[in-house]
Amino acid sequence: MSKLRIAVQKSGRLNQDSMQILKDIGISIDNGKDQLKASARNFPVEVFYLRNGDIPQYLKDGVVDAAIIGENVLIEKGEGIEVVEKLGFSKCKVSIAVPKDSDATSLKDLNGKKIATSYPETVKKFLIEQGVEAQLHIINGSVEIAPNIGLADGICDIVSSGSTLFKNGLKEIEVLLKSEAVLAISPTLNETRKAILETIKFRIQSVLKGRQSKYVLLNAPNNKLEKIISVLPGMKSPTVLPLAEEGWSSVHSVISKNEFWEVIDELKANGAQGILVCPIEKMVL
């Protein structure tokens, strides 16, 4: 039976998040220490554990059919590779930073200066767009030490929490792009494996929708029911059930995690009581 070959980063946070979402969509993978690939026990998938920077070329060459990879890596090395789903985790920025005592406050202040980076193609394109000329010093590794040892006046690297910049005495002055993990596919993907991918996409979308939502149950006085329902649109409309106590109803609905506290405050202001909030594991639309 044909299997979908999917690449993930072989170590680090992106590896952990990638394996978690595969687990959440019901794909069980046995991976021994230092294994380069592993097959799922219950689904036609084979996982390849690769260096993040090598994955775009494997996709282009058709060695793997799909990958969970940082969007920033695709922008740097994966021209022409299609992204089929944004996954919402492993978020970061690609930013330019300079020493804290530097007079530079924007990219234009680095005109004619040296910038150290592991993302030369991304930086070159951005510099051209901004009309800035700078000399690039390409480093594979700890880019943030370059200004401290006199290699460069600034750096361009990925930034997550900003703690690495802080520890190395750097300040962010420009954000080139924002990135997150994505599901990308090979241009050589055949129809049989594309069908397997569609099943994976459907399951991932259900998990992501669940992560972005909360299930809410509450008690509402009937004389304020209409107003409370207007606050809770849900997927189609809230479920309303009569309570044993006359004049009250139980209301069940789904709300967006991003609007959670605003909605809860409005519900309370309109007389809702006994509000219970539950996480949603998966949400199939």
Task: Supply φ then ψ for residue 223, to 5 degrees.
Answer: -75, -10
Q: Residue 221's pLDDT is what?
A: 93
Confidence of residue 11 (pLDDT cuts 50, 70, 90): confident
From CA 29, how far away is CA 42, in angstroms rounded?
8
Confidence of residue 166 (pLDDT cuts 50, 70, 90): confident
Interval 25-66: pLDDT, tens: 999 887 755 788 899 988 999 999 999 889 999 999 999 999
Is residue 190 classed as helix, strand or coil in its secondary structure? coil
Q: Residue 160's pLDDT is what?
A: 84
* CATH architecture group of domain 92-179: 3-Layer(aba) Sandwich (3.40)
Q: Residue 252's pLDDT is what?
A: 93
Q: Tell me which CATH code domain 4-89+180-210 carries.
A: 3.40.190.10
Say which CATH topology domain 213-279 has: Alpha-Beta Plaits (3.30.70)
What is the greatest pairwise CA distance in the chain?
77
Stated as kind and residue range, the H or E segment containing 221 is strand 213-221
Q: Residue 220's pLDDT is what?
A: 93
From CA 285, how far away is CA 279, in angstroms rounded?
17
Listed by start position, the domains of the chain span 4-89+180-210, 92-179, 213-279
CB 282 within 8 A of CB 208: no
Q: Supply the DSSP symbol for 48.
A: E
Sequence-ordered alpha helix ranges (H) in 136-182: 163-167
Q: Residue 35's pLDDT is what?
A: 80
Average pLDDT, the chain: 90
**Same fold for the pair 4-89+180-210 and 213-279:** no
Q: Which residues contact 271 (CB under 8 A, 6 or more apart)?
A: 220, 221, 224, 228
CB 7 within 8 A of CB 20: no
pTM of the model: 0.84
Q: Residue 145's pLDDT is what?
A: 86
Interval 195-241: pLDDT, tens: 999 999 999 999 999 999 999 999 999 999 999 988 886 667 788 99
